[in-house]
Amino acid sequence: MKKPDKAKIEIDWIRELIFFWGFFILMSLSHWNFLSSVKEITEGFLHFLILYTFAIFYRIIVFPLFTKGQLNRFLIVTILVLLSAGIFLFVADYFWFFPEFHQSQSWMKMCLLYIVNTAVSLITMEAIFLLEYFYRQQIRSSNQMLQLSEAQTKLLQAQLNPHFLFNTLNNLYGISIQEPNRMPVMIMQLSQLMRYQVESASKQQVKLNEEIEYLNSYIHLEKERIGQRCTVTYQYPKPFESLATYQIVPLLLLPLIENAFKHSSGTVKSCFVSINISMMGNTLALDILNSVPVHRPKLVSTGVGIPNTKKTLEAFYQGRYILILEEADSQYRTRLSLDLKPKTHD
């Protein structure tokens, strides 16, 4: 997985400090006449620090409930946070920061006033944060669309290349002579494979079951292409129609699977490809193990498949995936863990 960007973290801290001091100065202006000593300024600063801490808590803990679509829980927790912040600040001012003033007033009226003022202050701060959040999301979405368009264009150039198509057609020719009854199914699978790639290139997301069905056709054709030279085992979730509630970027898994067939079939000795696709909750797991020839033949390759996959994962699943590529003892292992969000509407 990609390491955290230190520059991004530094920028976040700078932005946080700018927001903090900006809000503190703005809120202090309305109370400037009451901040006539270092003690009062310190107490006012501590008061604001508590308020800002609640604002950060709300943004980090509560707001994600909204982005996950848990609206009822979001509203309930929001009300609880606003009430808690108002009561907490009232108690702090009543007993510690400004006891002389507050203890001479009706505590019930002051408590209600604090709840209202605190709610208004928090909502004002969060509104500015939310405007910035949605602005960044819009920019991110635009960048994703640009990267997807570029990645899909390269994938269409790289996948189902003329070498694969030529080898497949050669095998189909041999099958047509020896076992002509198998030809209709084989031709239909090749047709579906090519049609899916063209149609999915214009989509940002496809149903997971459609992607798995596409991979089934691809792996079946690869089995026919390499014939008896390799042992191929393949497992996938069944029935895969149940995966329709999940969506995935189209052609995301194909380069990883294609890479296994490309590099394992260079020898006739102990050649194997093992592919296992599974679902654990909302997490898609892809585990590929393939043999690696001792003397590797020179393969024709565009060299964009795996790099494109990494770029797509980072663009669309940042912080929600783990990709491990490792080679040891004449074997190459690919493991991908991907957190998929269920589709909430058609």
Mean pLDDT of 233-248: 88
Residue 145 lies in a domain: no
Cis ω for the linkage preceding 180 (within 30 of 0): no
- Are the beta carbons of 311 and 151 closer than 8 angstroms? yes
- DSSP β-ladder status, 272-280 and 231-235: parallel
Of 86, 105, 139, the last residue of a domain is: 139
User: Does 237 share its domain with 193?
Assistant: yes
Per-residue burial over 155-187, b if 16 or more Cβ lie within 10 Å, else e, is beebbbeeebeeebeebbeebeeeeeeeeeebe
Angle value at C-alpha 331, between 327 and 335, nearest 5 degrees: 65
* Residue 133 in domain: yes
Copy the structure tokens of residue 188: 């239909």
- Same domain, yes or no: 23 and 122: yes
The confidence band for 34, taking pLDDT boundaries of 50, 70 and 90, is low
Structure tokens at 164: 């694969």
pLDDT tens digits, residue range 69-120?
A: 788 888 888 888 888 888 887 787 777 776 766 666 777 777 787 778 777 7
Q: Decide if 144 contacts 316 (C-beta within 8 A).
A: yes
Token digits of residue 11: 């920028």
**Same domain, yes or no, for 185 and 314?**
yes
Q: Give the pairing of strands 206-207 and 247-248.
A: antiparallel
Number of domains in the chain: 2
In a domain, 151, yes or no: no
93 occurs within a structural domain: yes
Residues 122 and 205 in one domain: no
Domain shared by 87 and 176, yes or no: no
How does DSSP classify residue 273? E
Query: Does 304 map to a domain?
Result: yes
Domain that holds residue 98: 6-139
Taking phi over 0 as left and psi of -120 to 50 as alpha, with beta for the rest, 329 belongs to left
Q: Output the average pLDDT for the chain.
A: 76
How far apart CA 124 and CA 159 sit, in angstroms, is: 51
- Of the pLDDT bands very low, low, confident and very high (cuts 50, 70, 90), residue 145 is low
Q: Residue 294: how many CB atoms within 10 A of its CB?
A: 10
Higher pLDDT, residue 248 or 328:
248
Among 3-7, 103-107, 134-138, whose mean pLDDT is lowest?
Answer: 3-7
- Tell me what the mean pLDDT of segment 37-50 comes to: 76
Q: In the predicted model, what is the mean pLDDT of residues 192-201?
A: 78
Triad 71, 74, 80: Cα angle to 5°: 145
Is residue 155 over pLDDT 50? yes
Residue 288 has pLDDT above 80, yes or no: yes
Q: How far apart are CA 212 and CA 56, in angstroms?
A: 41
* Residue 116, pLDDT score: 81
Is 250 a member of any domain? yes
Residue 100 lies in a domain: yes
Residues 112 and 180 in one domain: no
> Is 242 or 208 the better-scoring residue by pLDDT?
208
Asked if the structure places residue 153 within a domain, the reply is: no
